[in-house]
Structure formats: C-alpha cells, structure tokens
Structure 1
Amino acid sequence: MGKRQNRLMKKIKKFKLSTFFVKKGRLQVGRVLVVVFILLLVIGKVSDLTNRNYFNSNVDVNNLPMNQLTREQFIQRIAPEAQDIQTQTGIRSSISIAQAALESDWGKSTLAYKYNNFFGVKATGSMRSVNLTTSEFEDGKWIEVKAPFRVYDSWQASMEDHADLLIHGTSDNPKRYAKVISGVNVEEAAQALVDGGYATDPGYAKKIMNLINEYQLKQYDQ
C-alpha cells in the first residue's frame, strides 16, 4: 500500500460525522446544505421511479389511445387478440404482434391511429381506403410513392383481416403466405413473409425477428 493510500485510510478512520458538520464549535453550513441537496435528489429519484412503477402497473391499457401506449403496453393490448387468432388459425402470436409493431410504428403511424390499419394492408377495388405516402424498396433503392391503404373500423378488424390475408393469400396466389403458418419455427415464418412479397424491404424478416427476440414475443406462442 502506498503512502497516498495510507494517508487516505487514516483520514477515513479519523472521520466522524459530528466533526464533519461541526468544526471548532461552528456549524459547517455549506456541508449541511450539500448533504441536504444530495438527499433531496435521491428521494426525488426514488419517488419518481415509484410513481412510474405504480402508474405502469395500475393503468388500464384498454382505456388509452393506441398512439399513447408505451411499447410494452402496446404488446399487452394486442397480445390477447393475437393469441385468439393463433388459436383459430395457427398464425403465431409473435408474428402478428411483431408485424403490427413494425408496420404501425407501435400504433403511432397515421395509418394506424387514424385509420386502424396496423399492417400496411393495401386497398383494392371498392374497398374503403385512404391514399398515403409510403416507402418502397425498388431497383436497389428506397423511393416514396402514393398508395391506397385499407381503412378499418377498429384495430381488431385490422388484425382479423391480416390473418385472413395470410390464410387465403391473394387472388393470383392463394398459397402466397402458406409457409407463414406451416413454417416449422418462427424464423421460417418471418422469412415466408418476405418470400411471399408482403414487404419490399430486404431486411424485413430480420426486423421482425429482432422485435420478437428483443421483446420476448415467443412467450405468446405458448
């Protein structure tokens, strides 16, 4: 142990709380104020964390607008619907939840919170629709295009229609998304979305899997 460390240890041994605040019979006001300030910061931080935890644990997410939910609350909100769909169709809940989060920007996109379209589903024919700008990956680069998107009465209707699309495919290819359901694991299911042409983004499957892993969405497949 060096001389500097020895001096430090001696100071620590000699330290007394009473002499820290009072020196030669005089109260060290500056030191008192510093300690009080530190204590107030600590108490405020603990109180803030306690209030946040209380709010998050007691708030009813069903009464909040979708675009005001945290990511965890978003999952909590749509997971039961995704699990019901899985029971009826075999579509993994993790896929439904991750796609909804990715396509709707966690319920915060205009298409999601104004028009209840959580999966970026395009409109055809006489379907109720809204024209919005979207990004597409074409010829090796991203471009912005205007496209008609479906409008739904509720986010639940959007989830049901998404499931219907995966089950029945498109008019030109009814089996387009069959492997999303029949894939032996969630990785195959995510890749089947890309193979079926659900999105033009070449990194789509990876983004889906990143969300599934980061938020442990496989637990909802059980």
Structure 2
Amino acid sequence: MAKKRKKGKLLQRLGLPQLILAGVIVAFVGLLLVRLLGEQPRVVVDDSAGANQESVLREHQAFITSLAPEAQRLQLTYHILPSVTIAQAILESDWGTSRLATQYHNLFGVKGTDPNTSQILSTKEYQNGQWIEIHARFQVYSSNTAALEAHAKLIAQGTTWNPQQYQHVVAASDYKTAAAALQQDGYATDPTYAKKLINVIETYKLNQYDQ
C-alpha cells in the first residue's frame, strides 16, 4: 500500500504537459528500437561484371554466327569441318578483333608475299621453346568470306612445296582428329594449338555446325 501511495504522489506532482512529453519520448524511443532491430542490412549488388560478361558472350556468338554458314558451304567443296574452321578463326583473330582481322579481313594469320596484296605487321611465333616477336608480311583480303575460302583452299590443296601437307586434316571425320592433324601437319608453331582448338570447339559447341 505504501508503494501505491508513493506512485500516486509522483504522478500528482507531474503536470499534464510533462506526462504527454514523457509519453512522446517513450513512443519515439520504442519506434527507434523497432526500426534499428527490425531493419535488415542492405546488400548492394554490382551487376556490371555480369552485364559485361553477357555482352562479351553475345559478341562471341555473333562472330560465330557470321562465319558458320560460309564454313558449312565450304565444307561441301573442300571437306574441312566447320567447327575447326571457326575455331581457327577465333584463335587466330582473337574473335575478329585483331588488327589483321579488322583492317585486312585476315582471320587466320595467313602470310603473303606480294607487296600489292599484303601488309607488314608484327606477330609472335613459337621458336626454340619460346615465344618471339617477328615482323612478317600478311595477306590482305577483301572480306571475311574471301579469307574463309582462301583458308579452305590452303587446307585442301596444301602448300606450293607440299600439296599433301594437310591431307590428314581433310581426311578427319571429327574435330578432335582434325585438330590433332593440324598440329601434326605443321599448321601452327604453338605446341598447344590442337588443345586450344578443341577447348574452343567444346566450349561453344561448334561441332553442331559439322555436317
């Protein structure tokens, strides 16, 4: 009973304005606590990397699509698997972005001899167990279609000093055999050339274009 009387006297001492103010303070503190305790931390997601990756994939697919029909047409005449042709163009031209490809439509790094139809550019070749930079004369083409046809003729007809040089590539019935044959027949100096071709073909399912 004594405690009740003390509490009552305390309330009597406080005037109405003080009670209202106290109530407002208590309510404000309560709302603040609820917000602090209940609000979840915001996670900011940077999706620029994902957007960039999607853009690159679209560009890659566009490059593949631009070459596939012609590569398939050439297969009927020269018997070169489109998957291998496309994969070679991807590796040799860095997806069509190299200077040689963008300015001269040379998708395969084909060398030239005639000053009227070639340009001197720097390139890297694997010699004596290491990569070195050299300057060489490279063929200029009028279009990517012209480059694809010249490449198919080279594989099918061989070089001027050895018409049978790429006979194993022409005879191959699957991309793995053809890729290994290109390295075996001395198409590229890179010792991992066949492995890179196969990786590109399998990553982008280029064998779907083989007839």
Which of 42, 56, 63 matches 1:74?
63
User: Contact conserved, 1:111 with 1:117, CA < 8 A, in 2?
Assistant: yes
| Counterpart for residue 85 of structure 2 | 96
TM-score by length of 2: 0.74
> Residue 137 of structure 1: CA displacement?
1.5
Q: Write the deviation string for residues 151-183 of structure 1: whole angstroms up to 9, x where unpaired.
A: 111111111111111111111111111221111
Distance in 2 (CA, whole Å) between partners of 1:219 and 1:175 is 28
Q: Which amino acid aligns with 1:26?
A: L
In 1, the alpha carbon distance for the partners of 2:93 and 2:52 equals 26
What is the identity, as a one-letter code, of the residue corresponding to 2:204?
Y
Residue type of the partner of 2:73?
D
Distance in 2 separating the partners of 1:178 and 1:145: 29
Counterpart in 2 of 1:26? 31
Gaps of 5+ in 1: 1-21, 57-66
> RMSD value over aligned CA atoms?
3.1
Moved over 3 A (4+): 22-25, 27-35
Aligned residues, how many?
183
CA separation of 1:142 and 1:23: change in aligned 2, threshold 3 A: same
Cα displacement string for residues 23-54 of structure 1 (whole angstroms, at most 9, x for unaligned residues): 9851544467646x44xx57x96xx97x899x
Residue aligning to 2:209: 220
Query: Do the aligned partners of 2:79 and 2:156 also contact (CA within 8 Å) in 1?
Result: no
Correspondence for 1:169 = 158
Same amino acid, percent of matched pairs = 43
TM-score by length of 1: 0.71
Q: Which structure has the greater CA radius of gyration?
A: 2
Alignment of 1:49-128 (within 5 A): 70-125=59-114, 128=117
User: Separation in 2 of the partners of 1:76 and 1:121?
Assistant: 22
Write the distance in 2 (CA, Å) between the matches of 1:172 and 1:151.
Answer: 22
